[in-house]
């Protein structure tokens, strides 16, 4: 599995992974109507804008398998230069890439990028009911940091933030 920084040519694959994994990971956690409303075209616009608008404050990394297929991605953005905290904004893997170390390697690539940008810590938001996601971040050494509510399709969802205070271990 190879991890590399995404290019604009990767946006279509990133968007497909984003939509496909939302539809499986969040089934039962957000309304089905919301999941059915997700659009590949809107995702391409979102991730294309993310890459273009935040060029110097964000990055997308992709996991590429042995047959040169993108099977996952992670996105990061700097939250504030003042507090030196970056955000693991997104982490999505196709089911066939899960359990193979790609998620861990993507998180490591994000941490390295943030360290190079003089960030000393990183946080990630995850749905409270997404036990697999929360467990993954905890296994990587993140600790509970904050709580908020989000809304998806009219349903209030509890989110938790996890933080790594020291990125050198990632």
pLDDT at res. 58:
87
* CA nearest to 128, candidates 117, 137, 119, 120: 137
Chunk the chain into consecutive blocks of 10 residues (it has 170) and report each block's average pLDDT, rounded to whole numbers: 95 97 92 94 94 81 96 89 84 93 96 92 95 95 95 91 92
CA angle at 86 for the pair 71 and 113, rounded to the nearest 5°:
55
Edge-to-edge order in the sheet of strand 121-127: 2-5, 58-64, 70-80, 85-93, 121-127, 155-164, 143-152
Packing angle, helices 11-25 and 40-53, rounded to 10:
120
- The number of residues in the chain equals 170
pTM assigned to the model? 0.93
For residues 40 and 53, the answer to whether their CB atoms sit within 8 Å is no
The CATH T-level fold of domain 2-169 is: Aminopeptidase (3.40.630)
pLDDT at res. 83:
72
pLDDT at res. 82:
65
């Amino acid at each position: 599995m190879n991890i590399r920084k995404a290019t604009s040519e990767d946006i279509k694959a990133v968007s497909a992974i984003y939509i496909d994994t939302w539809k499986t990971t969040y089934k039962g956690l957000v309304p089905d109507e919301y999941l059915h409303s997700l659009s590949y075209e809107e995702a391409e616009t979102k991730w294309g804008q993310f890459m273009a608008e935040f060029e110097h404050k964000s990055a997308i990394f992709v996991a590429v398998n042995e047959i040169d297929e993108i099977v996952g991605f992670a996105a990061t953005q700097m939250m504030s230069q003042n507090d030196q905290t970056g955000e693991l904004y997104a982490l999505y893997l196709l089911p066939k890439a899960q359990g193979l170390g790609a998620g861990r390697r993507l998180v490591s690539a994000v941490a390295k990028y943030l360290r190079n940008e003089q960030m000393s810590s990183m946080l990630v938001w995850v749905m409270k009911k997404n036990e697999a996601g929360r467990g993954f971040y905890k296994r990587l050494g993140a600790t509970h940091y904050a709580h908020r509510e989000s809304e998806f399709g009219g349903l209030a969802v509890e989110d938790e933030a996890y933080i790594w205070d020291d990125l050198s271990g990632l």
